[in-house]
Structure 1
């Protein structure tokens, strides 16, 4: 059956254009006055895991420390857990729960913390028939957010779409153990519903990173992430320049898989 997807070269060009557009927005908003507490440069430390339990089911876990001043002073802590259903070779359906704890000024107890509870549903499409591996991620989120100055939670809806491309930096067609690779993605966040206050655009994230596949299950990544985020209280956009550090651990516990990969 003929594929209606654009060629890998076209997909890579689209991703690069989206990243450049996000960077151009960041340059524009550098001229905008921001409060003294605003931090433009920071880092995100990420650990992601998709464990394959059997042919149909898997477990997703994720932990992040965001906007880190030091190991004991993250501005935001993030945890996610979910179930993955492998409907086909290219299609994964997921659902789960995420929890975020934000500190407006780092660990300043006088300002308090801002928790968020979140449920999500996700559809993931993966294509790896060419050297450029392509991933489309569609995610719907239901969020219960405590905003600054409020003792109650506000319910919000959000839709996210991410395009991710991965290219092995070797003569091999796929990313195998011992292979360095280049990966990049662009993700747009759209808010909707009664409490969105007409603010449809929530944020955009564009990332370009170098990775290394240590084993079948483990890889590490380091790169640059540009985040354009809507600031409701200021009616403006904030540009964040982020050092992205990631560890991926994706074991396969299906019969025979774990033993074969460890050998």
Structure 2
């Protein structure tokens, strides 16, 4: 009885607050609706490596070329390196650096090319329930972004840096496709999602900035190399433009693992 009474009072309070605020909201100017821009002509090519240097230490990194209009126009070049330490079976910690060079592209182009310099903290957990291979990857990024400015004489220079922070969480699941092998090794079905949360010290606070959902196949080439062919659906929010960017991307990754698994 006490719980029901408390629930009724909370509901009544919420309704009263809504009724008080409704006339104020009705009188305010209605903001322009968000629009969605769909682009399905991106191609990302990547090389990744996971190279042990001792029993517990390893270098983890990737090199990526990202293109639009098929492969006709540049989108981004990225190079990342992470030094990892194996704390326990299935748990790695580390830190690294990242460099990204981005070009204006698509229907919501940036005003200028930009550069992204990062320092980040890293954690990765792997476990295998049954035949599933699951990976959880966490990254906390410190970013220094700057625009590339072209003056009247066509000379290019880097503008002032803007500091930002961002958290990322990736969940990846791989499962061997029954009856499908290549070179006597299992071909795997791959499903993964990567969430980006911007961290701002302004009134925006925490905000979901981007999401990358992808699926496809992992094709084993030998004991240390695998080719992933994925379809990536990338969502990016542009609050200042009140627009969502929804990009369809073919993502091809050549993965090198220095120690056979």
TM-score for the superposition, normalised by structure 2 = 0.74
Matched-pair contact (CA < 8 Å) for 2:36–2:244: no
Residues 1:118 and 2:118 are matched in the alignment: yes
Superposition deviation, residue 235 in structure 1: 2.6
Superposition deviation, residue 198 in structure 1: 4.1
Counterpart for residue 55 of structure 2 = 55
CA separation of 1:92 and 1:176: change in aligned 2, threshold 3 A: farther
CA separation of 1:196 and 1:77: change in aligned 2, threshold 3 A: farther
Runs of 5+ unmatched residues, structure 2: 1-33, 150-157
Higher radius of gyration, 1 or 2: 2
- Correspondence list, 1:1-263, <5 A: 32=35, 34=37, 39-69=39-69, 73-105=73-105, 112-147=112-147, 151-170=159-178, 178-194=185-201, 197-198=204-205, 200-252=207-259
Q: When you count strand as a share of all residues, which structure comes out higher?
A: 2
CA separation of 1:33 and 1:138: change in aligned 2, threshold 3 A: closer
Q: SS of the residue aligned with 1:179?
A: strand
Matched-pair contact (CA < 8 Å) for 1:177–1:216: no
**What are the Cα deviations for residues 99-129 of structure 1, in whole angstroms up to 9, with x where unaligned?**
00011149xxxx7521110111111010024
Matched-pair contact (CA < 8 Å) for 2:41–2:69: no
Question: Partners in 1 of 2:243 and 2:35 — Cα distance?
Answer: 9
Runs of 5+ unmatched residues, structure 1: 1-30
**What are the Cα deviations for residues 55-84 of structure 1, in whole angstroms up to 9, with x where unaligned?**
110011211111344657421101001101
Superposition deviation, residue 247 in structure 1: 0.6
Question: Partners in 2 of 1:196 and 1:49 — Cα distance?
Answer: 39
The alignment of Structure 1 onto Structure 2 pairs a total of residues equal to 215
Q: SS of the residue aligned with 2:241?
A: coil
Question: Partners in 2 of 1:227 and 1:114 — Cα distance?
Answer: 19
Matched-pair contact (CA < 8 Å) for 2:46–2:62: yes
What RMSD, in angstroms, separates the aligned Cα atoms of the two structures? 2.8
Matched-pair contact (CA < 8 Å) for 2:36–2:246: no
Superposition deviation, residue 163 in structure 1: 1.0
Q: SS of the residue aligned with 1:194?
A: coil
Matched-pair contact (CA < 8 Å) for 2:195–2:212: yes
